[in-house]
Structure 1
Amino acid sequence: MFDDVRAVPKPMKHQTEKDKPVFKERRYNRKRKTKKKVEMYKGVKIPHRKRRGEISKVDYEKALLHYGGGCAETGQTNIEMHHIVFRSQGGRGGFRNLVPLSKEFHTLCHTDRAYADYWREQHKKIFGPHYMKDAYDLWKEGLIHNPTPEAFEKFMQGEQGDA
């Protein structure tokens, strides 16, 4: 019954390589990663502006605490954190540059310039004119001697006292 079935010999390795078509798989051209330029000031590396604009958990909680744990307008707990001075304009992620707003008011901040300016004026009164800056900004401007959190907080506390 199985007499007609013959074992087929395996082709030799060199035969299969010859039978395969010879072509190179094309890959799309990726941009090569270039080393990012590191900003240095007086021998100290300054973090990238994107990282300095991020909101840390500590700053998020401080901003919430400052406004009573909810939206600054309505008190709702469903909030979005708004950068008063946008990151693209040099605003940082510190709690002094943040205000918790409900979705409607957050959208209003991005569409109504007068409403956004209202929050800028409020924070200038409360925290002083440098509310949107971080330690590196103040250091580069010569307002503090070194970009440590202690020097930064001491300067900002003095600004709040003047306002």
Structure 2
Amino acid sequence: MTLMTPVSAPHPIASSRGAQRGDSLRGVYFYELHEADDELAIGITLAHDEAFAPSEFLAMVETARSRVIETFTEETLIEAIAAELEREHDFAAAVDARLVAAVGVASEEGETRLLVHEGVGAHAADEGEEEDPDLAIAEALLSGREPIGLRTAVVDLEKNESLDS
């Protein structure tokens, strides 16, 4: 798991030089969890009203990981760790289910618009829809879990002689 040092967004009234790494935004500090696979850009941002040293945050993450690694039901390990950090240390995870609004910003006038997002209740329309097994397998593989229900097809192939010309 890659660990990032606490960072925050600049305060709206910050000086022109901007915020420095680890500066607080109105008493809120930000931390990140990332999947171990460096090729994937999967991460979760956590917020807390207390500044923790990077080594202290790492220790909390390692403890949370050891608690959830064998039993988590979330889609990814980092989601399970984030949930554990919320329960044990009062972090707030910025996850899709809590997203209130998403806006696509465009450089062209009139093209900036609200985006469809997967916030609270977004999956209500999916109730009763059949889950795509290939998608479930891919998500399991990407999250580092063993996929359930792999399918194998064995077929006999005949050589088409007319294609040899």
TM-score bin (small chain): under 0.3
- Given the two structures, how large is their TM-score scaled by the length of structure 1? 0.26
Structure with greater helix share of residues: 1
Larger Rg: 1
